Amino acid sequence: MGEEDRVILHGMWASTYVKRVELALKIKGIPFEYVEEDLSNKSALLLKYNPVQKKVPVLVHNGKPICESLVILEYIDETWPSHGLQLLPKDPYERARVRFWAAYIQQLLESMAKLFNPDHKEAQEKALEEMYEKQRILEEGMREFFPEESPNVHPEKLGILDIMIVSTLGAFRAQEEVLGVKTLDPEKNPLLFSWVEALIQLPVVKEIIPPFEKLVSLLQFIKQNGIRF
Amino acid sequence: MDNEVKLHGFWPSPFVYRVIWALKLKGIEYDYIEEDLANKSELLLRYNPVYKKVPVLVHAGKPISESLVILEYIEEVWPHNPLLPKDPYERSVARFWINFATDKGRSAVRSLFWGGEDGEKEAAEQMFNFLKIIEEQALGDKKFFGGNSINMVDLIFAWFACWIQPMEQLVGIKVLEPSRLPRLHAWVKNFKEEPIIKENLPDPERLLEYYTRMRSNRMSKPN
């Protein structure tokens, strides 16, 4: 790995999944080119690199495409092991715990996405309950990880769970603006709330967070038109 | 005693079988505990409070849940007889297919099993389209998904080797037709003939009976 390394990320500015990869690359200090895709008019290159899912993110490393955000994160950690910090712990049991909770946070994201489907009111309330329940379980689970009150958030110690948490919950204010309900309640989830607040202050995270107004507009559009993203 | 391996499972579960195969392929000794999912043990609820499901692998007293997480753990702790390629790029391709099977496969299976009167034909077509992608792009001309020998991707797709058949019988639609999916059909045969796999397969009659009961139970319940 040296001068000949060429890394290109095909993404979309508001995609949670793309943010995960952007963050991972920045945390590890891996230089990359970014290609913004218009998802309503996908590039021939994207369709060539991801013919099965036709989705972003796609990471292209020296011409070879890798798809699926969590698969990409594992690839990045394995390919650039000495670059900055490790995204996954060394110990196999700790790695298993991180992978378990990363998958759970993904499920939380899927619950949250349901809130933006313009269905009837009951479906909205059901989706909200489901999301709160998942957050409650996540809050409890994360308390095991962090024996102190709140996670110690250091730019040098960021890992996959930090990436998953901030990409999934980091835009909560924009979501609340559009939905008119709390999507991250500091009283119900003090640990998650303080963790997210600490993460979104970090310079590396600030670089990738989409502009508030732009995101609010998009979320409103999605809610009105029921686009699945 | 310190390094004891235990597996909590349930006999019809393809997710449990994945772990059984991985352990046996690597020659890892373990104790198997059959769980009655209608009456879950205290231990299971303590080991997997989030999902309360099987499989749960317990290694030296520490529990690991979720079959994919368990498989990656097994691979890392016992790296001999590898189930994933060594090259990071090849690994990412394997993981992509594992992810695809988990994501799209699961919804295709659910539609097929629970699809109503009109839904059945459409569910079968959805399943067929999914399998066509698998055959053309994941399997290709290889004997196994792992190449000349089976690997983790084969273990994940094993659902289509043994569990789809009773479902096809129940629903009355054959999806894995040899004429429509010749290479996948050949893979099913090859997979089931592999030494360790052959000795560790669920009984098809028993599976059919179980699925029949499950389906009639759910359908007789009021909405």
Reported ipTM: the value is 0.94
For A99, name the nearest residue in chain B, comparing CA atoms only. B69
Q: Which A residues 21-60 touch B at CB under 8 Å?
A: 51-53
Q: Is B105 within 8 Å of B130 (Cβ atoms)?
A: yes
d(CA B197, CA B22): 10
- Are A96 and B72 inside 8 Å of each other by CB? yes
Whether the predicted pLDDT of A196 surpasses 50: yes
For A77, name the nearest residue in chain B, comparing CA atoms only. B88
> Which residues are within 8 A (CB) of A126 and not within 5 positions of it... i.e. 6 or more apart?
none
The pTM (predicted TM-score) of the whole model is: 0.94
For A74, name the nearest residue in chain B, comparing CA atoms only. B92
**Predicted confidence (pLDDT) per residue in A40-60, tens digit:** 899 999 999 999 999 999 999
Give residue B221's pLDDT.
Answer: 55
- Token code pair at residue B74: 């097994």
Provide the shortest C-alpha distance from residue A209 to chain B (in Å): 27
Provide the shortest C-alpha distance from residue A51 to chain B (in Å): 10
Q: Is B178 within 8 Å of B140 (Cβ atoms)?
A: no
d(CA A70, CA B152): 17
d(CA A60, CA A45): 11
d(CA B125, CA B128): 5
Rounded to a whole number of angstroms, the distance between the first and last alpha carbons of chain A is 34
DSSP, collapsed to helix, strand or coil, labels residue B154 as helix
**Bridge-based pairing state of the strands A7-11 and A33-36:** parallel
- Token code pair at residue A15: 């995609």
Under 8 Å CB pairs connecting chains A and B tally to: 60
List residues in chain B touching A: CB distance below 8 A: 50, 59, 62, 64-66, 68-70, 72-73, 76-77, 88-89, 91-92, 95-96, 99-100, 133, 137
- CA nearest neighbour of A183 among A95, A114, A121: A114
- Over its C-alpha atoms, chain B yields an Rg (Å, rounded) of 18
* CB < 8 Å to B70, chain A: 96
d(CA A30, CA A84): 9
Per the DSSP assignment, residues forming a β-bridge with A66 are A59
How does residue B223 score in pLDDT terms, banded at 50, 70 and 90? Answer: very low
Whether the predicted pLDDT of A158 surpasses 50: yes
Of A68, A92, A100, the CB nearest to B99: A68
- Residue B75 φ then ψ, to 5°: -60, -40
Please give the torsion angle defined by the CA atoms of residues A149, A152, A158 and A162, in that order, rounded to the nearest 10 degrees.
Answer: 30
Q: Side chain identity at A15, as an amino acid letter?
A: S
Which strand (E) or helix (H) includes residue B56?
A: strand B56-59
Asked if A92 is an interface residue toward chain B (Cβ–Cβ < 8 A), one would say yes
Give residue A156's pLDDT.
Answer: 78
d(CA A35, CA A197): 29
- Are A96 and B73 inside 8 Å of each other by CB? yes
d(CA A21, CA A34): 11
Provide the shortest C-alpha distance from residue A140 to chain B (in Å): 10
Give residue A119's pLDDT.
Answer: 67
For A80, name the nearest residue in chain B, comparing CA atoms only. B88
d(CA B3, CA B47): 17
- Residue B8 φ then ψ, to 5°: -90, 125
Size (chain B), residues: 223
Mutate: best of B46, B50, B51, B84, partner A, most A CBs <10 A = B50
- Are B73 and A64 inside 8 Å of each other by CB? no
DSSP, collapsed to helix, strand or coil, labels residue B142 as coil
Mutate: best of B76, B92, B137, partner A, most A CBs <10 A = B92
**Predicted confidence (pLDDT) per residue in A73-108, tens digit:** 999 999 998 766 899 999 999 999 999 999 999 999
- CA nearest neighbour of A145 among A77, A94, A107: A94
